[in-house]
């Protein structure tokens, strides 16, 4: 049976002030049985790429792995600092990430040891055949042809080593495996040091399908429809675990295949680079939104150790595109994939390998970092943006007249 393709339901980001509440919802979810069941089914369907195993435990491997992964993500979110990248900031990171980062992955590159960032527009997406995705699960139903475009809109991270997770006494040490597309499955050595990244998509995307679209089979044998999935997910958090990866310290970045965790990692790492550059080319400016006292007390009762202040990251006014041109790109975006801009940064930023210790460069006793060099924004007459030394207010965004 052929079913319709998903309609372009947009990703509508939350108000930045709502990020502490969104984090609280995720923590509640990761403490529930529903989270364990969802993670277990994702692993059985082959969705996860970081797989823990514990010898000596009398339980199905998927159940053990799900419990470890869910508990680890809950701990990561409880320690996280909160960030919100505006739509312009998201588009800038995507433009600069058109070429992979040149520096080797550094644990000091993220703005905090643990964090959660929500993007104003998707940083990528992929088309999924729902019938094929459910084929290896109990909900499988022959003949289903329903496709959904899933956007990636948020990422959590933390520093990580294989020894970061402990299990009950009597069981063996956790063994970790990495399933990388095109690279097979490899064990993760205990000496590994790096960053753990979890990618999130919005919940409830089946709402883009006709409610009667058949997706699978319920335990009692009745059809699982798109309308029923929306009902089942009522009360679920706004973000849904999509996949994970790890970024090894000191390892360089390779060219990434589109629609993979590698590509999304490039965008995230580039956003961190843009946020960190406070030199002559200052790419971003940040507004902090403190958590109200009542909310901070609830966070403390929930075991949250990270700050609940939201850091809203925007493109610096010296590099921000005109409002009209940003609006044109926003109107052209589907909200289900990364924005295909034609007005923002049509000539994108590029990278320069910058030596951080030139006096020792000749003898090789130095280290290098990326420096992102501005491209230019085509103005109304196709001219590059003229950057002045004028001091701009936080809430001022250049209009068409600013580009003359």
The top-scoring range by mean pLDDT among 115-124, 143-152, 221-230, 232-241 is 115-124
- pLDDT bin (cut points 50, 70, 90) of residue 391 is very low
Distance (Å) of CA 93 to CA 188, 251, 312, 346, 368 = 30, 21, 15, 13, 20
pTM: 0.81
**Residue 253 vs residue 366, higher pLDDT:** 253
Can you tell me the distance from the alpha carbon of 136 to that of 46, in angstroms, rounded to the nearest whole number? Answer: 9
Q: Is pLDDT above 70 for 116?
A: yes
pLDDT of residue 318: 84
Residue whose C-alpha is closest to residue 20's, from 265, 285, 306: 306
Contact 265, 99 (CB under 8 A): no
- pLDDT bin (cut points 50, 70, 90) of residue 133 is low
Contact 25, 348 (CB under 8 A): no
Phi-psi region of 153 (alpha: psi -120 to 50; beta: other; left: phi over 0): alpha
Report residue 33 as tokens. 């049985």
Q: Is pLDDT above 90 for 124?
A: yes
Residue-wise pLDDT for 137-169, tens only, equals: 667 777 777 777 889 999 999 999 998 766 654
Question: Among all chains, which residue has been given the structure tokens 């992929």?
Answer: 126
Q: Is pLDDT above 60 for 171?
A: no
Give the helix, strand, coil percentages of the chain, each rounded to 5: 30, 25, 50
Q: Is pLDDT above 70 for 91?
A: yes
Report residue 183 as tokens. 């690279």
Can you tell me the distance from the alpha carbon of 48 to that of 64, in angstroms, rounded to the nearest whole number? Answer: 14
Can you tell me the distance from the alpha carbon of 378 to that of 264, in angstroms, rounded to the nearest whole number? Answer: 27
pLDDT of residue 31: 93
The top-scoring range by mean pLDDT among 49-58, 74-83, 183-192, 298-307 is 74-83
- According to DSSP H, which parts of 111-184 are helical? 130-133
% of the chain with per-residue pLDDT over 70 = 80
Q: Is pLDDT above 50 for 89?
A: yes
Residues shown for the chain? 404
**CB hemisphere CA count around 153 (13 angstroms):** 22
- pLDDT bin (cut points 50, 70, 90) of residue 399 is very low
pLDDT of residue 346: 64
Can you tell me the distance from the alpha carbon of 90 to that of 84, in angstroms, rounded to the nearest whole number? Answer: 10
Cα torsion 19, 24, 25, 26: sign: positive
Residue whose C-alpha is closest to residue 4's, from 146, 143, 112, 199: 146
- pLDDT bin (cut points 50, 70, 90) of residue 57 is confident
Cα torsion 42, 45, 49, 50: sign: positive
The top-scoring range by mean pLDDT among 32-36, 339-343, 351-355 is 32-36
The residues with which 126 forms a beta bridge, in sequence order, are 150
Q: Is pLDDT above 70 for 380?
A: no
pLDDT of residue 138: 67
Average pLDDT of the chain to the nearest whole number: 81
Phi-psi region of 296 (alpha: psi -120 to 50; beta: other; left: phi over 0): alpha
Residue-wise pLDDT for 174-187, tens only, equals: 899 998 777 788 99
CB within 8 A of 285, min separation 6: which ones? 313, 314, 315, 316, 317, 394
Q: Is pLDDT above 80 for 384?
A: no
% of the chain with per-residue pLDDT over 90 = 42
What are the φ/ψ torsions at residue 403 (nearest 5 degrees)?
-100, 5
**CB hemisphere CA count around 191 (13 angstroms):** 1
pLDDT of residue 121: 93
Can you tell me the distance from the alpha carbon of 338 to that of 87, in angstroms, rounded to the nearest whole number? Answer: 11
Residue whose C-alpha is closest to residue 87's, from 25, 11, 156, 22: 11
Burial of 65 (0-12, 13-18, 19+ CB in 10 A): buried
Residue whose C-alpha is closest to residue 164's, from 240, 58, 68, 92: 68
Can you tell me the distance from the alpha carbon of 335 to that of 291, in angstroms, rounded to the nearest whole number? Answer: 28
């Amino acid at each position: 049976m052929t079913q319709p393709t998903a309609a372009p339901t947009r990703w509508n980001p939350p108000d930045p002030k709502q990020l502490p509440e969104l984090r609280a919802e995720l923590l509640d979810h990761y403490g529930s049985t529903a989270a364990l069941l969802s993670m277990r089914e994702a692993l059985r369907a082959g969705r996860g790429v970081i797989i823990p195993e514990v010898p000596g435990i009398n339980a199905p491997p998927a159940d053990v792995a799900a419990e470890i992964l869910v508990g680890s993500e809950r701990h990561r979110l409880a320690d996280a600092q909160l960030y919100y990248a505006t739509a312009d900031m998201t588009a800038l990171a995507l433009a600069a990430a058109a070429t992979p980062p040149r520096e080797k992955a550094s644990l000091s590159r993220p703005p905090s040891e643990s964090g959660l960032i929500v993007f104003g527009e998707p940083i990528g997406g992929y088309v999924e055949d729902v019938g094929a995705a459910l084929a290896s699960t109990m909900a499988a139903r022959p003949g289903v042809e329903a496709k959904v475009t899933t956007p990636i809109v948020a990422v959590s991270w933390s520093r990580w080593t294989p020894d970061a997770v402990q299990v009950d006494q009597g069981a063996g040490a956790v063994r970790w495996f990495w399933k990388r597309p095109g690279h097979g499955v490899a064990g993760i050595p205990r000496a590994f040091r790096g960053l753990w990244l979890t990618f999130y998509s919005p919940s409830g995307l089946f709402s883009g399908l006709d409610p009667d679209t058949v997706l699978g089979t319920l335990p009692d044998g009745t059809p699982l429809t798109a309308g029923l999935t929306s009902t089942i997910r009522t009360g679920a958090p706004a973000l849904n675990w999509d996949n994970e990866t790890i970024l090894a310290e000191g390892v360089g970045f390779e060219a990434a295949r589109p629609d993979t965790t590698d590509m999304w990692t490039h965008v995230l790492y580039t956003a961190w680079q843009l946020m960190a550059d406070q030199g002559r080319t200052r790419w971003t400016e940040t507004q902090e939104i403190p958590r109200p006292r009542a909310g901070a007390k609830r966070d403390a009762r929930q075991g949250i150790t990270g700050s609940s202040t939201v850091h809203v990251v925007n493109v610096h006014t010296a590099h921000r595109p005109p409002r009209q041109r940003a609006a044109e790109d926003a109107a052209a975006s589907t909200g289900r994939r990364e924005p295909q801009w034609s007005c923002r940064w049509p000539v994108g930023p590029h990278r320069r390998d910058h030596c951080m210790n030139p006096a020792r460069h000749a003898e090789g006793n130095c280290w290098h970092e990326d420096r992102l060099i501005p491209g230019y924004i085509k103005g109304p007459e196709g001219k590059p943006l003229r950057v002045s030394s004028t001091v701009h207010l936080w809430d001022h965004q250049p209009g068409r007249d600013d580009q003359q």
